[in-house]
Amino acid sequence: MMNKGFGFKAKPKQASFKYTGTTRPGVLSPTRKVPPEIMRPEYADTGRIITQPPRFPWVIEEKSEADIAGMRAAGRVAREVLDAAGRAVAAGVTTDSIDAVVHAETVARGAYPSPLNYSGFPKSCCTSLNEIVCHGIPDSTVLKEGDILNIDVTVFLNGYHGDCSEMFCVGEVDDAAKELLQVTYDAWQKAADFCKPGKHYKEIGAVIQEYVEARGYTTVKNFCGHGIGSVFHTNPTILHYKNNEPNGVMRVGHTFTIEPMICEGKPDNVVWPDKWTAATIDGKRTAQFEHTFLMNENGVEPLTGKLQTSPRQFWEK
């Protein structure tokens, strides 16, 4: 069974766990509190996911105008929060301090940080460093010059989720890191450009895989993009590799994420004993970008798109 985005939880090998790269788990700070007046998703208090995707993967909700307005607002907040987190990235900063920024900026806008207590996840965002594919838990880990970091932010605002992630360079990074980020970004953009009403969701993966493999990279197969709205993870499932899964046809009003994870080495990964953090099996670096997209008549619109004030990638400056 394919796992949808942030909802993936694997059973790691506990005995004598072998870390594959240089990143190690740090110390967790206490759980951050959300003011009681802020609207919460169903899992906020218990960690239990109650609402499940439709049984058939091709059954996909078409959002109403009211839904779309709500998702635009959530997407805008998610982008503002991600931008604030990105500005905090620097050598000597801990990933926990970035989580503190995400948490504070989210609740200041009247939103709930969607990752917090989702199936028990302990923090308000994911910080995935170097060889960490996704779902890195913010902790006392200190960022170093030359690191690459993915920050994944999702907010729940007035009943709707907005989800986005981006790569950030810690100071100066090497040319290989720059190429990895550029290729990942370009593959992601090509996938978004491909999307039009009437096309099949299964076709997205081939666009990504063919582009990255032609440049010597690989695409992760056990994490995927997903539908999103009032529910954090739902249909459609967006696979980032060639497949023939019956995951439906693109229609106006669909909202979903595309979030390929691209690797310098092998695409396989191992989950740490914390049951969340996924690392490349060979310890090589990985990168990811993500938007929440809305399908309209002409293609997709990024609901979490960059603002004029957003931090820029090195190729955008």
Q: Find out whether 210 is annotated in a ligand binding site.
A: no
Q: Find out whether 226 is annotated in a ligand binding site.
A: yes
Q: Beta strands 278-280 and 269-271: pairing type?
A: antiparallel
DSSP at 183: H
Q: Find out whether 103 is annotated in a ligand binding site.
A: no
Q: E strands of 170-251, at which residues?
A: 218-219, 225-227, 234-238
CA distance 288 to 290: 7
Q: Find out whether 259 is annotated in a ligand binding site.
A: yes
The sign of the torsion formed by the CA atoms of 242, 245, 246, 250 equals: negative
Query: Which pair of structure tokens corresponds to residue 194?
Result: 């491909």
Edge to edge, the sheet with strand 269-271 lists 132-134, 278-280, 269-271
Going by C-alpha positions, the residue among 315, 312, 304 that lies closest to residue 225 is 304
Q: Find out whether 163 is annotated in a ligand binding site.
A: yes
Residue 5 — left, alpha, or beta (φ > 0 → left; ψ -120 to 50 → alpha)? left
Beta bridge partners of 4: 224
Residues that constitute the known binding site? 135, 152, 163, 226, 233, 259, 290
Residues that constitute the known binding site for substrate? 135, 233
Residues that constitute the known binding site for a divalent metal cation? 152, 163, 226, 259, 290
